């Protein structure tokens, strides 16, 4: 196979260069690494985002069997270790590194988060009888079209998967089209919902019905949310808003947008009041905005249950409902608002 032969040559060259490489690079060649308990589960999450979404899953797996977590990034490895898991940088997809890594951890199951598939890893795990599971799989139409040009790579990898749970119907259809056996398809699963699903909503009260959560906003959307909020406050003066941009680096820019509208606010990243504690606002807290790190699972889950009205990113050209209740009784509503011209960007 071209991929195997080419990467084998690369593996030989990399091994010769290893003595002159850094410790992290040698770890990716499976020449070094922490002690592991063999025979357990190998959980692979590409980086921080995937690992954050798989937190609940990793905790559950680690409670049952020895768990080794791999990531492609130093930040991902650091997070996995902070969460209490044995963590190591994932082996490069060269046969020599994959062979050394598999020989060291001897996994019974390889669990891959989302869509990180590699030909040598897939083939060599199957040769050793390692079951392969993919959770929360997703693939866009563009990626599917690219993979369709490489059927000799993607087809065998998908056929080796014992169980795959996709995030959505579209990903399911694309993966089946690329060669995933229908019998390997499991129940759809969005890993990011596992954490919030474990948080029990509080009892409804007059305050909760007046908290709006606008989560994972992108540039150009914050202004829409803020203007809608300002208009809604004319009808509901004690309405509060939690605004959580998707990218933390935009925090200062979003804070400037809020300040320009003359609104009082606090930032979670700077120890801002009730957003930091995620409890009910005090009487003076007419407005609070939590600008925290994306993927911070616990605050996000608490924000979701604090707000009775939630709004995520609308699809392009769509005018989403302003009501997404997390309520035990009557859903809270927000006055209808559309941007000038009546269309969302």
User: Which residues are the active-site residues?
Assistant: 50
Backbone angles phi, psi at 68, to 5 degrees: -115, 125
Using the 8-state DSSP alphabet, how is residue 261 labeled? T
CB 248 within 8 A of CB 294: yes
CB 246 within 8 A of CB 338: no
Q: At what angle do helices 2-17 and 119-127 cross, to 10 degrees?
A: 100
Burial class (CB in 10 A: 0-12, 13-18, 19+), 17: exposed
What is the C-alpha separation between 252 and 256, in angstroms, rounded?
Answer: 6
Which one, of 125, 136, 143, 192, lies nearest residue 164 by Cα?
136
87 three-class SS: strand
**Which stretches of the chain are DSSP H helices?**
2-17, 23-28, 48-53, 55-64, 74-82, 95-105, 119-127, 141-148, 151-159, 169-178, 194-197, 222-235, 251-260, 273-277, 297-306
**Beta-bridge partners for 87:** 69
Which one, of 125, 72, 133, lies nearest residue 103 by Cα?
125
């Amino acid at each position: 196979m071209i991929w195997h032969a080419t990467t084998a040559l690369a593996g030989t060259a990399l091994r010769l260069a290893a003595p002159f490489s850094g410790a992290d690079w040698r770890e990716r060649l499976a020449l070094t690494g922490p002690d592991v308990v063999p025979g357990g589960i190998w959980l692979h999450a590409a980086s921080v985002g995937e690992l954050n979404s798989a937190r609940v899953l990793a905790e559950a797996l680690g409670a049952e069997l020895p768990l080794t977590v791999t990531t492609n990034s130093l930040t991902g490895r650091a997070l996995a270790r902070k969460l209490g898991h044995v963590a190591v940088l994932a082996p490069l997809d060269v046969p020599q590194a994959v062979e050394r890594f598999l020989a060291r951890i001897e996994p019974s199951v390889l669990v891959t988060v989302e869509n990180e598939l590699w030909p040598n890893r897939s083939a060599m795990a199957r040769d050793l009888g390692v079951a392969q599971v993919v959770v929360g799989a997703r693939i866009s139409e563009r990626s599917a079209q690219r993979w369709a040009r490489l059927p000799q790579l993607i087809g065998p990898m998908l056929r080796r998967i014992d169980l795959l749970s996709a995030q959505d119907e579209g990903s399911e259809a694309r993966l089946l089209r690329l060669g995933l056996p229908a019998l390997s398809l499991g129940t759809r699963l969005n890993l990011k919902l596992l954490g919030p699903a474990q948080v029990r909503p509080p009892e409804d009260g007059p305050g909760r019905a007046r908290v709006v959560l606008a989560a994972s906003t992108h540039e150009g959307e914050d202004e829409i949310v803020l203007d809608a909020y300002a208009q809604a406050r004319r009808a509901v003066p004690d309405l509060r808003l939690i605004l959580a941009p998707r990218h933390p680096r935009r925090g200062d820019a979003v804070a400037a947008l809020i300040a320009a509208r003359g609104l009082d606010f606090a930032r979670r990243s700077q120890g801002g009041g009730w957003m930091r504690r995620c409890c009910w606002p005090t009487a003076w807290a007419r407005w609070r905005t939590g600008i925290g790190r994306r993927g911070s699972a616990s605050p996000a889950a608490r924000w979701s249950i604090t707000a009775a009205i939630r709004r995520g990113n609308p699809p392009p050209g769509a005018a989403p409902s302003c009501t997404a209740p997390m309520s035990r009784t009557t859903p809270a509503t927000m006055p209808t608002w559309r941007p000038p011209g009546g269309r969302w960007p």
